[in-house]
Amino acid sequence: MQHDSVAFKEIYDRYWDKLYNAAYKRIKNAEQCEEIIQDIFTKLWQKREGLVINTGLPNYLFVAVRYLVIDYYRKITVRESFITSGQLNDDIDNSTEEFVHLNDLKKQIDLLIDELPEKCKVVYRLSRIDFKTNKEIAEMLGISEKTVEGHLTKALQHLRSHISDLLPLLVAIIIR
């Protein structure tokens, strides 16, 4: 074991600066280069008993630097891609939030509609949700068109009078 640590120290002292310079030529980031070289020597120490090097130690170490530099740039590319897609996802997140606000607004409007008298509620839904004409509604319900108009007027007045209660939701949707 003592022999291993002496040999390792010799390799470390002989190659650390050369490996660091090779990494720095490609990365130009001192801290990252130190991490790369530290990783190489850590792995070399950890695998010292089972490691078989066929190409010569200097070649092995410089190839390790090259691969870790490639990994470094690959990580940067992935990170930048993630950041870019994260910005795109902000739109998705906003649309999801808008969807939630719209659902809340729809629920509030539905509650206001449910407060209407039954016949008024039916007329409103046929007109505004099912897009039926006043004539079609009158025929369906067996009432006059004038009565349909009266129910719609009453429903819309009720909604307008309570719309101020919904302003926070409307503002949340509009601001987004």
Query: Which 3-state string (H, E, C) describes 98-158?
Result: HHHHHHHHHHHHHHHHHCCCHHHHHHHHHHHHCCCCHHHHHHHHCCCHHHHHHHHHHHHHH
Confidence bin at 159 (pLDDT 50/70/90): confident
pLDDT at 108: 79
Q: Per CATH, which fold does 115-175 belong to?
A: Arc Repressor Mutant, subunit A (1.10.10)
Query: Is the distance from CB of 76 to CB of 141 less than 8 angstroms?
Result: no
Asked whether the whole model's pTM tops 0.85, one would answer: no
Question: What would the mean pLDDT of 94-120 be, rounded to a whole number?
Answer: 79
Structure tokens at 174: 């509009």
Question: Is residue 162 very low, low, confident or very high in pLDDT (cuts 50, 70, 90)?
Answer: confident
Cα dihedral across residues 86, 89, 93, 98: positive or negative: positive
How many whole angstroms separate alpha carbon 143 and alpha carbon 140?
8
Higher pLDDT, 48 or 19: 19
Q: Tell me the domain boundaries of the chain.
A: 2-85, 115-175
Question: What is the CATH class of 2-85?
Answer: mainly alpha
pLDDT score recorded for residue 15: 94
